[in-house]
Structure formats: structure tokens, C-alpha cells
Structure 1
């Protein structure tokens, strides 16, 4: 479970509970327009990561067991999807490979305000390891856009998370936590683009899931706006242990209308 703050980021605690991903969606922009992808980020996808993405995709295609086989329907094999900002893919995180990058993002003040994982690399490592050592109900991922790792996601079973104690959960409800890493990628409409893409991935790849949920801090108005622009609806205010949150939902039945 992420540091103290739940939500879209999700519910967080310094020593994360594998079943409770980070509560915060970190800094997110409000727009939903097509994104200009001409800007060059300072981080290009290393050849090793390209190879690992291919390796993980092949492993999933071959039917090899993965940690989330039974709970998140082989997330590692969900594959890339087109978006208005470029081709996007969720790549399950590995501590030994991705910790420096994710820790750097967590130490950005705008991210730290909601994720509360700033400081030593060991804090981020503990947060990742708690999920990776669990039963697969929460999967930390890099969001790779156009070949560039530029965001961090946690896809989790909300119905198996402590969050389920605070709202009328349904079987297979799936939660999203998101942060956008680079300052240059914020304020460009990417938050809504990525949230819509990931919510669609969940609904397409998890036929038993009827709703995608998130619980951003009510103070995080940019995050809430991004969810609304991504086709989520505001459902309720939740009094969670570490914050007052907006319960956001994207319903399978409404996905073609919002």
C-alpha cells in the first residue's frame, strides 16, 4: 500500500501493503486534447529495456506463469496500444532495473506532495518490493510512450484492497494509480490520454471487470480533472485513513458514452 494517501493514486503507506497500491496520482494535467509529441524528453528507452519488453511479451504469449496470472489477467502480456500521443505500453516494473528512475520521480516535489515517497531510494524500493513480493493483486508498471518510459502506474484489484472497506466494491473492480514523471510531460493533456488508454486496456483485457476505479485526493484538482476528461465519473467523497478522496469510476456500460 503506498505512502499515507490513497488514490489515483491510491492508498499509500511507508511500508506498502502488497494489496494496497499507492494512493496518489501524482501531478497530472487536466487536458484531453491530442498531445504534441514533437518535444524530446531527456530519457530515451535503453536497448536493454526494449529487449526486456520483447522478452516479457514473448513469455506471456508462450503461456509462462506470471505473478498476476490469476488476479490481473496476465498484465505483462496486454501489449501496446495506439493513443493520440503515440504508442503506449504498460511494462511491469523491476526493482533492479527501474528503481533509480522511479525514485527520481518520487523525489520531485510535485509528486512527493501526494505519493509521500521522497527521500532515500530505499523507501521507493520497499514500496515496489512489497507489491512485487505479493500475490499479484497490485502490479507496479512503467508507462512507456513512444519508446520512452515517462510515467509510473499501479494497476491493482480494488476489490481486494483496503479501499474496498470504504465503498460498495464489486468483484474484479480494478484500480489505477498514476504519476507522470517529467515536468515537460505535464500540462499537455497527457494525463487524460494515458488514463483513458489504461482504463480501456483494463476493460478490454479483463472481461470480468465492470468498473475501473481511482481515489485521488480531493485537493488534487488537476488529477480529478484528468480523470473526468478520461471518461471517469465522480461517484462519491471517501473519508480514507490518510486523506479525503474523490471516488472516480469508469463503467464498462458507459465507456462508449463518456
Structure 2
């Protein structure tokens, strides 16, 4: 169930559409480990409010006859000690995530300094005296999902097993990414695997026949403890656990392609990244869930280092469902690769394709809410 706010459509005084928000509010994780900002509709038509710890920290409304215009009536940064940028970004995230059919919208701010800071970060763009929010640039604002702006680690060449590649940064710990999924009305998160906390469910997943058939890594608890420890110690890999609403559901292994086994099979760049996945919980399978975690994982990899221009994958060549999912997510089929243990299909996703085609918003045509409306966050695309 969701609520709708009236907003004018760009360039048309007569035509309008409903801006949709979850009935319980959109939970932005822009504040990282703090309580989320909740963006919800107010009783007055076209109005919204932003709450933090149950206190209203901002309010505004949607208006305009020649543009999609979002006006902030109040932003209470002094009382809340919250940066104005975080409040504005939280509202922009809610608008774009729940209504991806918007190509852009205009924003009105009374605080010129705040507008300047947002423009300098690329969260908004100046067009004359107008302030425009575009999804292509907004969704590259790493702090909204990573909790901070990652620094580019110094580029120092090192040699590993004959492959010359950049020295890799120290591993992060804890949560690395969080995003509210409108059509599931819950938070998706990725955190770095913790041996003590994550070993029990990782062990169960790897011994599940469906997972073991692909990974071939079934074993006892000691084997899986060493497995995670090895991935944490290897500079090439980053083992992540995915959660929906705090519930672990899958294992995601990221790797730097240059020094990986895939590197010699194409002209790998120093910051190309790849990934492997094992979905361990049956309750989190299906289109609604894969359409949440797959683009979000790509989003994380592109945000974690702005020098990452391409993401690659190597699904086994006959895994038709996985290849269809990758195709829908913007991956191009490059060629087949013969590894010692499998024949794989090399697939590749370009940074430009991901952001310019707004692939963070999936096409969920065919899925609907309980009251028969299309699910929140779906961006219908042609074949």
C-alpha cells in the first residue's frame, strides 16, 4: 500500500501524475548507522515531511506548472543537528526511488549555501537560476548508500602471479551498503562477512544441495571457517553477506578482475571488478528479490571506487536463468571462456550504461501491490 502526491509533469501545465510514497514512509539510510530519515506524505495534498527519531526536521510540497518542482518549506538543521545536505538527499532519494519514471525534477531551496554545497557535490545541477536533480548523477552520491564518501586509494602498481595491478586498499569492516527497497518495503544491506556471526548460516548455505551444485564447496564447519578467513585475508576478494530487513539471505564474493583467473581472458582494467553469488534462503528467491540485490550490488561496486568503469561476471554457460537476469540488468554478453572447471560466459556491465540507463530501478512489470497498482520503484522498459 502506498500514498500518492500530485505533481505536475515537466513542461505540461495540464498533465500531472501521482508521486507515490510508501504508506509507512520511505526510510533513507543517508545517516549511515544512525536512525533513518523517514519521508512520508502529510494530510495536505502534495505535501511531505521528513522525520528523524519521530521529530519533524523538514517539510515541503510539490508544485509547478512548467516543471516538476519540489519546494522545501522548512529545514530544521539547527534543532536536529543534521546536515541540510543529508535531508535534501534523503528526499531526492525517496522521490527518485519510488518514481523512477521521472527523468528529473526541479528543487527550490531558500538556503543559497546549501544549494552551493549540493551543486559542488553533484547532487543537484544548476541550469541558469534553476536547481535540477537528475537520477544519472544523484545515484552516484556515495554517502547516501555507503555512509561516507570513499577516498581513492593511492595507485601503486604491484605484481601478483605475473599480473601487474594496483595495490588494493585495506578491507572495510561491518556494513558497507544500505538501500531501502520500495517494492519490498524493507532495507537491503551488505556487510563484510564476520567469521563468528556469519559462519552458522554460511555453513548451512554451502551445504544446501542447490548451492553446492554450483559452488562445490560443501564441508564441515572448520572448512567453512577457513573459507571465510581465506577470503578476508586475500587482497583480491571481499566476502559480503546480504540481508533483507536484517535477515541474512546470501553470500556475495567480490573480486578485482585484473589479478583474478578471469583477467587473462580479456583486456582487464586495473579497477574492473567481478562477483560470485550464492542465495542461501529460499524465501528470498524470485524476481522481486533478485531485482533488489542484483542492481544494488552493482551500485555498491561502482560507488566503492569511482575508477571502476566495468563490472564483469562469469556464469556457467548453460545457467539460462542467471544469464537472463544479467541480461535484464544491463550486462552485455562478450564471449565464452573455458576454465579448467567450467565453460563460462563472460558478461560485462559498463558504468555509463548502469547510471545513464537508470538500471538501479528495475523493470517490475507484471508485479502489483495488494490493491492492484504497479509496485513502487518499477521503471518499465521496452524489449
SS at match of 2:243: strand
Per-residue deviation, 1:216: 0.9
CA shift in 2, pair 1:77/1:94, >3 Å? closer
Q: Give the deviation of 1:192 after TM superposition.
A: 3.6
Deviations 1:136-184 (A, max 9, x none): x211111012221111111111112122022221110011111111112
> Distance in 2 between the 1:219 and 1:123 partners?
29
Distance 2:273 2:170 in 1: 9
Q: CA deviation at 1:124?
A: 2.0
* Secondary structure at 1:218 match in 2: coil
Work out the number of aligned pairs and report it.
Answer: 197
Check the 8 A contact 2:172/2:192 in 1, yes or no.
no
Partner residue, 1:126: 226
Matched, 1:81 2:179: yes
Counterparts of 2:296 and 2:206 in 1: how far apart (Å)?
23
Deviating more after overlay: 70-79 vs 92-101: 70-79
Alpha-carbon distance, 1:82 to partner = 2.6
Cross-structure match for 2:192: 92
* 2:279 matches 1:167: no
Larger radius of gyration: 2
- Name the counterpart of 2:280: 181
The 1-side partners of 2:172 and 2:274 are apart by 16
Aligned to 1:110: 210
Structure with the higher fraction of residues in helix conformation? 1
CA distance in 1, matches of 2:173, 2:276: 15
Structure 2 SS opposite 1:208: coil
Q: Are residues 117 and 160 of structure 1, via their aligned partners in 2, closer, same or farther at CA, if it must alter by over 3 Å? A: same
Secondary structure, aligned partner of 1:119: coil
Residue of structure 1 equivalent to 2:302: 203
Match in the other structure for 1:154: 253
Query: 8 Å contact 1:72–1:157 — kept in the other structure?
Result: no
**Which of 289, 293, 305 is matched with 1:190 structurally?**
289
Q: 1:132 and 1:205 mapped to 2: Cα distance?
A: 17
SS in 2 for 1:101: helix
Point out the structure with the larger strand share. 2
Matches within 5 A, 1:240-251: 240-251=339-350
Distance 1:197 1:75, change over 3 A: farther
Q: Secondary structure at the match of 1:160?
A: coil
Asked whether the equivalents of residues 239 and 245 of structure 1 are also in contact (C-alpha less than 8 Å), the reply is yes
d(CA) in 2 for partners of 1:75, 1:216: 28
- Aligned to 1:79, the other structure's residue is in SS state strand
Q: Which residue pairs with 2:63 in the alignment?
A: none
Gaps of 5+ in 1: 1-52, 64-68
Q: Match for residue 325 of structure 2?
A: 226
Query: TM-score w.r.t. structure 2 length?
Result: 0.47
RMSD (CA atoms):
2.8
Larger RCO: 1 or 2 (CA < 8 Å, sep 6+): 1
Match of 2:94 in 1: none
Using the size of structure 1 for normalisation, the TM-score is 0.68
Please tell me whether residue 237 in structure 1 is matched to residue 336 in structure 2.
Answer: yes
Give the corresponding residue for 2:312: 213
